[in-house]
Amino acid sequence: MSNTLARYSLIAALALGLWSGSGGELAAAPLNEALKPLPPLPELDAARVELGRRLFNETRLSVNNTLSCASCHRLDRGGADNQPFSLGFDGKPVTLNTPTVFNASLNFKQFWNARVDTLEAQIEEVVTSPVEMGSDWKNVVTTLAALPEYQGAFKQIYPDGVTAANVQNALATYERTLLTPDSRFDQYLQGDTEILTREEKYGYLRFKEYGCIACHQGINIGGNMYQKFGVMGDYFKDRGTPTEADLGRYLVTKDEEDRHVFKVPSLRNVAATAPYFHDASAKTLEDAVDVMFKYQLGRIPSAKDKDLIIKFLKTLSGKWEGRQL
């Protein structure tokens, strides 16, 4: 063990359940971990999933037939599009960085400002958003119902055929299949003590000790609570050029306590979803970790600790269709 790693507290390791007690080795995480492995893929109607997949790639959901869900949520790019701001139907950038669609069904709310509770409601808003798809549900239903391939598919699954609610349900059903299992960290949580390197295990330990886990926990390693952006400093003053989107949940509740409050994002596949934050201000994972330490934790980690935490974060990348993200 290096001198740097040797300085980590044995007491802390014991308290966190990571020390085996024999040979000085890090053991598997205990069963009462704050982080949980992904659940199995839900059992869903295969025909409904396939219809949702087709709709996910259907540009006729947008007002001018140019934009589909897959345009901004690229499954080959971490479930987002790796752009600071996606382009809407009119070719103009939207006001918030596109979050990944992978594992979104596990979030307790949808959108950065957590303004809706379900995937169905999220889909409903995106289609009608004047800066995203720019359409309306009457137009979408009329368009899809006029296409024989959709007429038949909907009628087989839904007795009332093509309706706004059924389009939303099919899309949401497909999105519930977009889970990314088999991250190395999930395998570690499930008992494979050798799947992580020593430094990755110490990165997890430091992730806990510094307090990152206070907000990033649960099945989705985030996505299950609100938090103010700038707990330990005025992030927005330091960044400058304030925008309405920076107000977060205040735009929903008009409660002053919700100013700059956002849904905590999931850290699953975080290494594949740059740039980061609602404003896409962090271009790299290293930049994002720096911002979190400064404005959320009020601490400055050593260079080694930062490197260890980043190594741990990279173990959170799962697989989609058998391919590592």
Q: Is 132 in the active site?
A: yes
Distance CA 296, CA 208 (A): 14
Which of 155, 177, 150 lies closest to 40 in space, CA to CA? 177
Q: Is 174 left (phi over 0), alpha (psi -120 to 50) or beta?
A: alpha
Task: Name residues whose C-beta falls within 8 Å of residue 98's C-beta, 6 or more positions apart in sequence.
Answer: 72, 73, 80, 81, 83, 85, 86
At 73, which helix (H) or strand (E)? Answer: none
Q: Give the phi and the psi of residue 46 in degrees, each rounded to 5.
A: -65, -40
Catalytic residue selected from 58, 120, 124, 132: 132
- Residue 194 has which token pair? 């050798």
Q: End-to-end alpha-carbon separation of the chain, Å?
A: 30
Q: How far apart are CA 221 and CA 314, in angstroms?
A: 13
Q: Is the CA virtual torsion 162, 163, 166, 168 positive or negative?
A: positive
128 touches 61 (CB < 8 A): no
Which residues have a catalytic role annotated? 132
